[in-house]
Amino acid sequence: MQDDLSGLTALLLVVEKRSFTAAAAALRVTRSAVSQTIRALEERVGVRLLQRTTHSVGLTEAGARFVARIKPALAGVRDAFDELGHLRDRPAGLLRLAVPRVGYEHVLAPKLRAFLAAYPDIKVDVSFDDAFVDIVEQGFDAGIRIGQLLDREMIGVRVSSHLRMAIVGSPAYFKAHGKPQHPRDLRDHECILYRLRTSGAVYRWELVDAGKPLTVSVDGRISMNDGDLLVSAALDGLGLACVLEGRVREELAQKRLVRVLEPFCPSFRGFYLYYPSRAQIAPKLKALIEFLRVRPARAPSANL
């Protein structure tokens, strides 16, 4: 295929310039090389395409028909290569992202307006999915996921600070049931269960006690697979919910929800932007990576 393309390019140049010598100069090869390339093309197609004399060169009838067909096609191929070069050199095009709703709220939403203003030639298509998504199979450029949930084959870039869970309930609930003082007290409370969309399993609350990990299997009569509805159920006084603290910051500030067991709720790795390869990263994705990247804070200087 590569040989055919080289032969076609050489043929069109010879026809355009009416000279093997001029075509060879344009291609930066020898006249002999151009002649051999076209001769090889004629042998592959089984038809003479050019008439040659010592003073001139012209198309045969078959060659004229052939050139008439391939010239616009090769122009299209050149345009396609030019477009690739255009996309290679600047951030542009459609950026497809697979993002859980909470990841959008924490990472993308606060910065998306500024990103689009900085890169007017980029369009962003966001698919919300709290389940695990195979971004390669489904044609996404990248995804956002909590750090410890990343596939080992993916490249991850930190795009948020550490996260922390919060156990919350409504004032009305605590007035009726009291507040737990220790994770073991959760067995006496109505807990709103979060059901994982990927496996259907119920999320076990991951806490700490005296610096040691403590996983608690809570119980309750209500289970959901949507974090926003989990918060809504807690606001309605249906029980205790364990959610990302950023998700209920406003409700806590307005005292519509009350936080309990805070010393037992640890922080953990935050959100990461992930993608499949470091090789030939598209400028549009590279721009997003640099825009969202969160770099670790520098340690204080010993001289200060």
268 or 152, greater pLDDT: 268
CA distance 60 to 50: 5
Work out the average pLDDT over 1-25: 77
Q: What is the mean pLDDT of residues 210-233?
A: 92
pLDDT of residue 1 exceeding 60, the answer is: no
Give the integer Cα–Cα distance in Å for 55 and 101. Answer: 72
For residue 215, list its beta bridge partners: 206
Give the per-residue pLDDT at 84: 60
- Per-residue pLDDT reduced to its tens digit, 29-48: 888 888 888 888 888 888 88
Q: Which long-range contacts (CB under 8 A, 24 or more apart) does 42-45 make?
A: 44/3, 44/4, 44/7
Q: So where are the chain's domains?
A: 2-89, 95-151+271-292, 163-268
Q: What class has domain 2-89?
A: mainly alpha
Q: What mean pLDDT, rounded, does the chain reach?
A: 86
Structure tokens that stand for 103 in this block: 């990841």
Bridge partner list, 214: 207
Q: Show the DSSP H helices in 90-156 as ranges.
A: 101-103, 112-118
Residue positions counted in the chain: 304
Instruction: Write out the H or E segment, with its range, that includes residue 242.
Output: strand 241-244
Report whether pLDDT(108) > 90.
yes
**Predicted local distance difference test score (pLDDT) of residue 86:** 54
Band of the pLDDT at 302, cuts 50, 70, 90?
very low
Provide the pLDDT for residue 304: 29
pLDDT the model gives residue 81: 65
Lowest mean pLDDT among 108-117, 201-210, 272-281: 272-281
Whether the CB-CB separation of 50 and 13 falls below 8 Å is answered with no
Tell me the residue type at 43.
Answer: E
* Residue 114: band (very low, low, confident or very high) from pLDDT cuts 50, 70, 90: very high
Q: What is the pLDDT of residue 25?
A: 86
Confidence of residue 284 (pLDDT cuts 50, 70, 90): very high
Q: What is the pLDDT of residues 230-239, one digit of tens each?
A: 999 999 999 9
Tens of pLDDT, residue by residue over 125-143, are 999 887 777 888 888 999 9
pLDDT at 217: 93
**What are 50-99's pLDDT values in tens digits?**
887 767 788 888 888 888 888 887 777 776 666 665 555 678 889 999 99
Fold (CATH) for 163-268: D-Maltodextrin-Binding Protein; domain 2 (3.40.190)
**pLDDT at residue 41 in the model:** 84
> Are domains 2-89 and 163-268 of this chain identical in fold?
no
| Overall pTM > 0.75 | no
Considering 14-23, 80-89, 150-159, 177-186, the range whose residues carry the highest mean pLDDT is: 177-186
Question: Which residue(s) pair with 124 in the sheet?
Answer: 95
Does residue 163 register a pLDDT over 70? yes
- Tell me yes or no: is domain 95-151+271-292 CATH 3.40.190.10: yes
Query: Residue 242 — φ and ψ, nearest 5°?
Result: -115, 110
pLDDT at 58: 81
